[in-house]
Structure 1
Amino acid sequence: MLEAGVVTEGSDGDLHLTDGFETAWTDEMERLRALDDDALAAATADAVPFEAEGSTRFDGVAVEGDAGAVWLRPVHAVADVAAVRAMERVGVAEPVRAPAASPLRLFLPACPACGGSLAETTVADGCCGGTMNPGETPTRRVVACEDCGAAVRDLGAVGVDEERPTD
């Protein structure tokens, strides 16, 4: 990604999106956000590295072909398809684009669903409590939109919040 001009190393030693790639990615996300569900499914099928058909299923985008199948939440489909298209615009080789799309979500400049600001947060993980105590709620860290709440990247399990009865 460094050689392809997608990311660059900053003076702080951290990786950052290049201005050109960030602009291309943002433009593509804006275009994809405007699509209806069926058009987003078709765009997702066009972006995968195998012949596929796209459809909407289980509140998400399903892409299936002889070489594989993918299911994405719409927010992830927008981010990943936009990343694939933006990588194509900056000259990233086709075999690298789809596998690099999901990891690039760590660098998202804005929410793919609404364009809002992103921040790390902790959310409840699941609906039924923890494995040892029904009062426990497993939590995980995510990058999520501060405006619409869409979780765009899972950063992993954090621990357990215990609900204690109040007297």
Structure 2
Amino acid sequence: MNIRSHQKAAAAILTALVASASTGCAQVEAVEIEHYQPSKITPAKDGGHPVVTLTKLGAQRIGLRTEPVATRSGGTSIPYASILYDADQGQPYVYVNTGGLDFERADVTIETIKADTVNLSAGPPVGTRVVTVGLPQIHGAELEYGAY
């Protein structure tokens, strides 16, 4: 093999490496773009609360967990971990799963609290899933993006 042949072979290898690297970078950029997608906020309808839509990765990163509203004699119950309180009025509320990775604030009326169970006299219907892990992050997303 002469020098010219070596130069052509080296050029071909270099071209292949550059093409491979640029394709790899595009894949990394696509993953990073998805990785840093913010949650989506859908404005409130009819005086209600905005809907927070998490990305799948966002839900995984915050360790999102939900539990259904349970039946109890005379009302419903939810885990204490699902309760937040409005800073202005002190109104207790939960975030309910309205479908997929969509969550909306719902006011509740607490009847009693026993250990880690909250008995409600008013709130979401039985079977509605309420957030138990990830509340601060969902609330923060709602406030961060100008919902209020």
TM-score by length of 2: 0.27
Larger Rg, first or second structure (1 or 2): 2
TM-score normalized by the length of structure 1: 0.25
